[in-house]
Amino acid sequence: MIFPETRLRRLRYNSVLRDMVTETKLSVDDLVMPLFVCAGENVRNPISSMPGNYQLSVENLVEECKKVAASGVRAVLLFGIPAEKDEDGTVACQHDGIVQQAIRVIKAELPGLYIIADICNCEYTTHGHCGTIIDGDVDNDTTLETLANQSVSLVEAGADMVAPSDMMDGRVAKIRKALDDNKFEKIPIMSYSAKYASGFYGPFREAAESAPQFGNRATYQMNIANIDEAIREVDLDIAEGADIVMVKPALSYLDVIYRVKTEFRMPVAAYNVSGEFSMVEAAAANDWIDRDRVMMEILTSIKRAGADIIITYFAVDVANILNGK
Ligand code: PBG
C-alpha cells in the first residue's frame, strides 16, 4: 500500500500517539555518572573545560553522590586523582589509594549506589601513559600485573564492578583470574573493548590530570578508522570473560555500537565522552543550540544505535528531565 492510502504522517499528528509509537526510550536505569575524586579536604575544583564537573575530595564526592542518587541515577564511575604519582601506577593499587578511600566512604553512606571503578594507570603515572614504560613505550605484560592488582584492591574496597580502560592485550583474562583467585567471582567486568585513540578525550585529561607527557596513545588505543578491528577486540574480550563490552567514544562511533550489538547480542555500554559533552556545553553557552534538546537527541541516538548502558556527564540532567524535574 502506498500513498494516498498510506500516510506516515497519520502517526505524527497527535502527541499521545507519537509517544505510543516511540521506538527508543531513554531510562534512568541506562545511565552512569562519571565522577572525579582527588586527595585533600574540602576540595571542589571546577574543571574549566567541563562546566558543572569538579575534582572533588572524598567528603564532597559523597555529597555529589547524594545528588546523583536523588536524581534517580543509580550508578557512578569513579576516576581518581592521587596526591602523588609514580612510574608504574603502583599508587593505584594501595589499600588507602584515593579511589579505595572514596569507595569505602560512599558504601558506608550510600550502600545502594552502584560503584564502577575505572581501571587504568594514566591518572597515576608521572608520564601519563596507561601503563609501565619499557623502551619508550607502554609494556603490555608488565602493565597487566598492575591492572590486576588495582582491580583486586578496588573490589576489596567495595567496588561493585571494574571497568578496564587501558587497552592492553589480555587484561580481561588477567583481571578475571585475579578476581576469581581472591573469591570475587561475582564481580562483573565491563571492558572498554573498542576504545579509540580519540581527540574527544581532551577535556577529561584536564579533569583527570592524565595527559601523556610524551608521545600519544596510538600504540594501545585503536585507530579511529577501523571497525573490523573493533569486532576482533570485542570478540577477544568476550572470550576472556568480559560481562559487558564498551564502545568509546560514542557519538562518532554509532556504527561501531550498532555492529557490536548486532554481532554479539551482549550487553553493550557506550561512553559519551568529555569532548562530546563539552562541545554541547560550549555551543549552548553561545546560544547556538538548545542544550537540553541536543543532549536528549544525542543520548537517544546512542541508545537507538544499540547501547544498553550510557556513561555520560549529562546523566543527572537527563534523569531530572526524565523525571519531570
Ligand atoms: C583513561 C581514560 C580516559 C577516559 C576514560 N578513561 C582518557 C584517555 O584514554 O586518555 C576518557 C573519558 C572522557 O573523555 O570522558 N584511560
C-alpha cell at 24: 527508543
| pTM higher than the cut 0.85 | yes
Whether 90 is covered by a domain: the verdict is yes
Residue nearest to atom 14 of ligand 1 (CA): 201
For the CA of 272, the closest atom of ligand 1 is 15
Supply the pLDDT for residue 240. 98
Q: Does the active-site annotation cover 248?
A: yes
From first to last of the 325 residues of the chain, give the pLDDT tens digit: 999 999 999 999 999 999 999 999 999 999 999 999 999 999 999 999 999 999 999 999 999 999 999 999 999 999 999 999 989 999 999 999 999 999 999 999 999 999 999 999 999 999 999 999 999 999 999 999 999 999 999 999 999 999 999 999 999 999 999 999 999 999 999 999 999 999 999 999 989 889 999 999 999 999 999 999 999 999 999 999 999 999 999 999 999 999 999 999 999 999 999 999 999 999 999 999 999 999 999 999 999 999 999 999 999 999 999 999 8
Residue nearest to atom 2 of ligand 1 (CA): 165
d(CA 298, CA 199): 18
Nearest Cα residue to 80 out of 207, 201, 231: 207
Q: Give yes or no for residue 198 CB within 6 A of ligand 1.
A: no
Omega of the bond leading into 4 within 30 degrees of 0 (cis): yes
Q: Give yes or no for residue 165 CB within 6 A of ligand 1.
A: yes
Whether 1 is covered by a domain: the verdict is no
Q: Give yes or no for residue 71 CB within 6 A of ligand 1.
A: no
Strands 137-138 and 133-134, sheet pairing:
antiparallel
- Indicate if the alpha-carbon torsion angle 314, 319, 321, 325 is positive or negative: negative
Residue 315 burial (CB < 10 Å; 0-12/13-18/19+)? buried
Residue nearest to atom 11 of ligand 1 (CA): 201
CATH code assigned at 218: 3.20.20.70
Whether 2 is covered by a domain: the verdict is no
Q: Give yes or no for residue 115 CB within 6 A of ligand 1.
A: no
- From 85, 174, 248, 261, the catalytic residue: 248
Q: Does the active-site annotation cover 195?
A: yes
Whether 3 is covered by a domain: the verdict is no
How many distinct structural domains can be found in the chain?
A: 1
Whether 233 is covered by a domain: the verdict is yes
pLDDT tens profile 77-88:
999 999 999 899
Tell me the CA–centroid distance for residue 275 and ligand 1, in Å.
Answer: 10
Tell me the CA–centroid distance for residue 79 and ligand 1, in Å.
Answer: 9
Q: 123: number of CA atoms within 13 Å, CB side?
A: 27
Q: 293: which residues sit within 8 A by CB, 6+ positions away?
A: none
Tell me the CA–centroid distance for residue 2 and ligand 1, in Å.
Answer: 49
Pocket test for ligand 1, best of 195, 201, 272 (most atoms within 8 A of CB): 201
Host domain of residue 201: 8-322
- From 107, 183, 186, 195, the catalytic residue: 195
Supply the pLDDT for residue 325. 80
Whether 292 is covered by a domain: the verdict is yes
Q: How many residues does the chain have?
A: 325
Helix/strand/coil percentages in the chain, nearest 5: 45, 20, 35
For the CA of 273, the closest atom of ligand 1 is 15
